[in-house]
Chains A and B, each alone.
Chain A
Amino acid sequence: MNLYSYILRRLLYVIPVLLGVCFLIFIIFNVVAPDPAYLLLGRHATIEQIATLHRELGIDRPFWEQYLAVVKTAFTFDFGYSWSSKQQIWEMIKAGAGPSLSITVPLFVITNTIAISIALLVSFYRGKFIDKAVLLISIAMMSISSLAYILFGQYFFAYKLGLFEISGYEPGFPHFIPYVILPIILYVAISWGPDTRFYRSVILDEVYQDYVRTARAKGVGELSIMFKHVLKNAMIPILTYVIIQIPFLILGLLLAEAFFSIPGLGGITIKAINTSDFPVIKAMTILSAVGFIIFGVITDVLYTVVDPRMRLK
């Protein structure tokens, strides 16, 4: 298949997937969800009040119109207003993105750097004690609930020892730094295990390939084999794994932001769930799905750049 027609097909495939995602969201929020009238108006609402509300929310219209409205939202990001704070949701997202990114970007860089370095190291010493130890530690660390990490970490390091801020946030660099250090450390501990395991298995898949034996037979040193031959091949799955994390950076950390009172999108989502704020949850769902789809396409297109087998075929 020609490369350009492949990329074009991949881009076109976004359309049915996006329509499907919108359909799923429509089913969840417009068809299955209970009538919000009771929630918003209380139990003493009159029939007129309910009808007015239905009209305002557009849920008195036929289903296909409601579905088109969801599709439209996916393109315009015009999510409407929050029920609890009455703010425009798009404005809330813009305000929350900064605090979220101030945690997730350093977290993303640190975790992946550590995980890839350790994966390379243990693949180099595969089967030896250090490899087995790292594997066991990473499995053990990923067997602990993330909520337990946060609860314990906040209690022990911030509250008991007073090493970090317990909670709160100040916008602007460098003021936010003291507030984000502990959440970042905790999340590095949470995601280090699965990431290292993934990178290790990807690298080990390559280490046993025949071309590695060829390189050895040529007299290439072990370090050069690892960093040149193996890493360039392993880069393909690694890149996929890394890039697909990017859209989630903006959404922040669901649990940690609420616990550390960081006004990011993760915290907003939790608050929306606690207050049954439908439009906000719906907006976050659409936003994350759209981000996932866009970055999925980017990954696939980058694939063709990194992997020569995809080119000119």
Chain B
Amino acid sequence: MTTATETMNLTVPKKQKASKSLWQHAFSTIVKDKLACTALIVVAIYFFIALMTFLGIIANDWGATVGPSYAEPSADYIFGTDIFGRSVFLKMIKGAETAVAIGLVTSAISLVIGTTLGALAGYFGGLIDELVVWFYTTFSSIPFIMLLVAIAFIMGKGTSTVFISLGVTSWVGLCRIVRGEVMKHKDREYSQAASALGAGHLRKIFKHILPNISHVLIINFSLTFESAIKAEVILSYLGLGVQGRPSWGTMIDDSKLELARGVWWQLGAATLAMFIIVLAFNILGDALRDALDPKLKGK
């Protein structure tokens, strides 16, 4: 038994090295993939713009009247103006902040709930597993859009409603995957070796198992991010969107009354801004999955 434990100990550093090289491999794959590289740059630019508007460095004066109501796009007004004569371009830029905030907060909430429940279920099994499985089966039995609408509706208007309703409705997929992965990993030698070394449950979950399934979390992050940005539009349409600052969802929603007058630029600008980042996340998500998911390797 002692010798068995000793050989197992030896596999611990080895495994960590292997998971590092998985990331190195993934990195080199993505760098080589021009499309994925471009997508990564696009996402970085959006994040940068969001940070700049958050700090008030750019688009701080989005609320100012710069021209007549509904001015067409021209040299003076790149994407035209809205009903109050505000620059649609600046609203679009400011909207990036809202979109990135929604994406980040939603992903963070779903990451915390999904990973915690999934890891607990997969690690401890038994009754805890049964309970978690029952809980997410229950949760996913109410269709996403109805649950989202119900929660948002009950919570009332407001930016926090958008965050919370999107966050608590998008953890199920992640939870299911984490549960499966943790189940697979907890019986691997390296984690058995960790218990042989006297690691406690929490330490095993957080220090040994979760780092080995971090690729799942990253892939899921890009998925949650883009679906949150898309769902925000629907919430805005239902009158449950963010308040007091521009978002692409409210811009698209506003345009339902403007189109009949031929004012298409607000719809166009918001759709374009959203299209580019959602497309980038979709491409990035695909590339990450190809690069990080060993199951798909060699295809």
Asked if B275 is at the interface of the complex by the 8 Å CB criterion, the answer is: yes
Known A-B contacts A155-B259, A281-B150, A281-B153; A145 and B230 likewise in contact (beta carbons under 8 Å) = yes
Known A-B contacts A20-B138, A292-B142; A159 and B154 likewise in contact (beta carbons under 8 Å) = no
A52 to chain B, nearest CB (A): 23
- Assess whether A292 is in contact with B253, with CB atoms less than 8 Å apart: no
Could you say which residues of chain B place their CB within 8 Å of the CB of A34?
154, 156
Partner-B contacts on A (CB < 8 A):
16-17, 20-21, 23-25, 28-29, 32-34, 139-140, 142-148, 151-152, 154-155, 159, 204, 208, 248, 251, 254-255, 259, 269-270, 273-274, 276, 281-282, 284-285, 288-289, 292-293, 296
Asked if B146 is at the interface of the complex by the 8 Å CB criterion, the answer is: yes
Could you say which residues of chain A place their CB within 8 Å of the CB of B142?
21, 24-25, 285, 288-289, 292
- Assess whether B233 is in contact with A147, with CB atoms less than 8 Å apart: yes
Closest to A276 in B: B153
Could you say which residues of chain A place their CB within 8 Å of the CB of B274?
143-145, 148
Asked if B64 is at the interface of the complex by the 8 Å CB criterion, the answer is: no
Q: By DSSP majority rule, is chain A's interface helix, strand, loop, or mixed?
A: helix
Contact residues, B122-162 vs A (CB, 8 A): 134-135, 137-139, 141-143, 145-147, 149-151, 153-156
Q: Which of B135, B141, B255 has a CB less than 8 Å from the CB of A289?
A: B141
CA distance A24 to B169 in the complex (A): 12
Closest to A282 in B: B150
Closest to A127 in B: B299
Q: Which of B146, B155, B256, B271 has a CB less than 8 Å from the CB of A145?
A: B271
Partner-A contacts on B (CB < 8 A):
134-135, 137-139, 141-143, 145-147, 149-151, 153-156, 226, 230, 233-234, 237-240, 248, 252-253, 255-256, 259-260, 264, 267, 270-271, 274-275, 278-279, 282-283, 286, 299
- Assess whether B264 is in contact with A140, with CB atoms less than 8 Å apart: no
- Assess whether B134 is in contact with A20, with CB atoms less than 8 Å apart: yes
- Assess whether B135 is in contact with A273, with CB atoms less than 8 Å apart: no
Could you say which residues of chain A place their CB within 8 Å of the CB of B282?
139, 142-143
Q: Which 7 A-B pairs have the closest CB atoms?
A: A20-B138, A143-B279, A143-B278, A148-B271, A155-B259, A145-B233, A289-B142
Q: By DSSP majority rule, is chain B's interface helix, strand, loop, or mixed?
A: helix
Could you say which residues of chain A place their CB within 8 Å of the CB of B286?
139
A160 to chain B, nearest CB (A): 9
A298 to chain B, nearest CB (A): 14
Q: Which of B135, B259, B275 has a CB less than 8 Å from the CB of A20?
A: B135
CA distance A145 to B282 in the complex (A): 14
CA distance A254 to B145 in the complex (A): 9
CA distance A24 to B234 in the complex (A): 22
- Assess whether B259 is in contact with A285, with CB atoms less than 8 Å apart: no
- Assess whether A285 is in contact with B147, with CB atoms less than 8 Å apart: yes
A154 to chain B, nearest CB (A): 8
